[in-house]
């Protein structure tokens, strides 16, 4: 099986690493097309083949993953469309680019629209998938590729891809934003910067593991998953955590998060704020 990735930026690299790790040893070929040759080095260190010509990557490919910016998507699709092998299925990861447009630009119905996240590089992406492909084997192939970089969730309406973009596509950045601000606040009250970083990192790591690996946490999305009861285990009455949560509530952090997620959703759905 030949897998081609068009665009070797943040996501192209994350996908290439995840797929390379998952499939290596098997009968498969991976080729990354990236116009900026300086970015080829990161792939060569993993012994992943690169090219600066999209058509070389697409040649005889079974799967093409489109990982260029949304603004470059139309030109990229039109460029490869006449050279796509008939057997090939195309997976787009571009935020906000509709399936109908992709199908038209590629002159193909064998197209899936997905929303992964940057955690693909460590096999932890949660990827949402929408397609109108009828062929069961092709649908299975798309799932197999996505499961090589984490978990895949097929949704029934395309709109849910835009919703997922605002939660899980952008989500890692929200978590890292919160980490940034916790570290800065720790330093502001007098902690050494390295200590503040270590405490923050280990707290997020432990809280995540606790959330997925204990009876109150259970699996993400599982029926026992209850972040409120976990929070209340820490925030005892009159204590320090309660003070912090009180400030979050007073400043309407819930409203701010709601507004932020809606802004991301509106952007992904191509709406004006
Ligand atoms: N970053 C995320 O966390 C994330 C999460 C989910 C989905 N996505 C989606 O993933 C896509 C890629 O995002 P990214 O963050 O990886 O962007 P990026 O780092 O800018 O990567 C895109 C790469 O594609 C290259 N490129 C542009 N046009 C090309 C062409 N015609 N042929 C070959 N290569 C081309 C760009 O080169 P130049 O820089 O030289 O233009 C750049 O290296 C976007 O559509 C985005 O919506 C991103």
Range of the domain at 195: 171-268
241 lies in the same domain as 196: yes
**CATH code, domain carrying 33:** 3.40.50.720
Instruction: Using the atom order of ligand 1, give the atom closest to the CA of residue 173.
Output: 3
CA–centroid distance, residue 252 to ligand 1 (Å): 35
Which of 135, 157, 179 marks a domain boundary?
Answer: 157
Does the residue 200 lie in any domain?
yes
Q: Does the Cβ of 126 fall within 6 Å of ligand 1?
A: no
**Which of 5, 11, 43, 167 best tests ligand 1's pocket when mutated (most atoms within 8 Å of CB)?**
11
Q: Does the Cβ of 34 fall within 6 Å of ligand 1?
A: yes
DSSP type of residue 25 = T
Q: Does the Cβ of 176 fall within 6 Å of ligand 1?
A: no
34 lies in the same domain as 134: yes
What 3-state class would DSSP assign to 31?
Answer: strand
Residue with the smallest CA separation from ligand 1 atom 24 is: 7
Q: Does the Cβ of 108 fall within 6 Å of ligand 1?
A: no
Distance CA 202, CA 216 (A): 20
CA–centroid distance, residue 13 to ligand 1 (Å): 10
Q: Does the Cβ of 171 fall within 6 Å of ligand 1?
A: no
Q: Does the Cβ of 217 fall within 6 Å of ligand 1?
A: no
Q: Does the Cβ of 70 fall within 6 Å of ligand 1?
A: yes
Distance CA 61, CA 29 (A): 9
213 lies in the same domain as 129: no
Instruction: Using the atom order of ligand 1, give the atom closest to the CA of residue 36.
Output: 40
Distance CA 273, CA 257 (A): 15
* pLDDT tens-place values along the chain, 273 residues long: 999 999 999 999 999 999 998 887 778 899 999 999 999 999 999 889 999 999 999 999 999 999 999 999 999 999 999 999 999 999 999 999 999 999 999 999 999 999 999 999 899 999 999 999 999 999 999 999 999 999 999 999 999 999 999 999 999 999 999 999 999 999 999 999 999 999 999 999 999 988 887 666 555 555 677 889 889 989 989 999 999 999 999 999 999 999 999 999 999 998 654
**CATH code, domain carrying 261:** 1.10.3730.10
Q: Does the Cβ of 33 fall within 6 Å of ligand 1?
A: yes
CA–centroid distance, residue 7 to ligand 1 (Å): 5
143: closest CA among 73, 40, 63, 81?
63
Query: Cβ(6)–Cβ(33) under 8 Å?
Result: yes
Q: Does the Cβ of 95 fall within 6 Å of ligand 1?
A: yes
Does the residue 166 lie in any domain?
no
18 lies in the same domain as 124: yes
118 lies in the same domain as 180: no
Q: What pLDDT was estimated at residue 273?
A: 46
CA–centroid distance, residue 22 to ligand 1 (Å): 22
CA–centroid distance, residue 49 to ligand 1 (Å): 18
DSSP type of residue 165 = I
Does the residue 273 lie in any domain?
no
Does the residue 79 lie in any domain?
yes
What 3-state class would DSSP assign to 224?
Answer: coil
40 lies in the same domain as 140: yes
143 lies in the same domain as 184: no
Which of 108, 131, 157 marks a domain boundary?
Answer: 157
**Which of 15, 69, 162 best tests ligand 1's pocket when mutated (most atoms within 8 Å of CB)?**
69
| Complete DSSP assignment for 186-254 | HHHTT--HHHHHHHHHHHHHHHHHHHHHSTTT-STTSTT--HHHHHHHH--TTSHHHHHHHHHHHTTHH
82 lies in the same domain as 104: yes
Distance CA 65, CA 51 (A): 15
Domain count, the chain: 2
218 lies in the same domain as 152: no
Which of 95, 130, 157 marks a domain boundary?
Answer: 157
CA–centroid distance, residue 73 to ligand 1 (Å): 9
Distance, CA of 207 to chain centre = 21
């Amino acid at each position: 099986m030949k897998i081609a990735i068009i665009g070797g930026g943040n996501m192209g690299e994350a996908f290439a690493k995840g797929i390379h790790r998952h499939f290596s040893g098997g009968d498969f070929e991976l080729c990354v097309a990236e116009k900026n040759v300086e970015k080829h080095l990161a792939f060569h260190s993993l012994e992943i083949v690169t090219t600066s010509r999209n058509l070389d990557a697409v040649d005889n490919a079974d799967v093409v993953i489109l990982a260029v910016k949304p603004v470059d998507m139309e030109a990229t699709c039109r460029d490869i469309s006449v050279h796509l092998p008939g057997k090939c299925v195309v997976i787009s990861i571009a935020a906000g680019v509709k399936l109908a447009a992709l199908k038209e630009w590629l002159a193909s119905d064998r197209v899936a629209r997905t929303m992964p996240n940057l955690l693909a590089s460590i096999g932890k992406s949660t990827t949402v998938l929408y397609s109108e492909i009828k062929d069961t084997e092709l649908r299975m192939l798309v799932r197999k590729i996505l499961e090589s970089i984490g978990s895949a969730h097929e949704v029934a309406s395309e709109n849910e891809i835009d919703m997922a973009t605002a939660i899980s596509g952008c989500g890692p950045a929200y978590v890292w934003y919160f980490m940034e601000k916790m570290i800065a606040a720790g330093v502001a009250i007098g902690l050494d910067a390295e200590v503040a970083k270590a405490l923050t990192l280990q707290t997020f790591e432990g809280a995540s593991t606790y959330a997925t690996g204990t009876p109150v946490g259970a699996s993400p999305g599982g029926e026992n998953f209850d972040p409120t009861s976990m929070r209340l285990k820490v925030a005892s009455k009159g204590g320090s955590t309660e003070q912090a949560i009180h400030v979050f509530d007073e400043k309407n952090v819930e409203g701010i998060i709601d507004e932020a997620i809606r802004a991301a959703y509106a952007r992904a759905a191509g709406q004006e704020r």
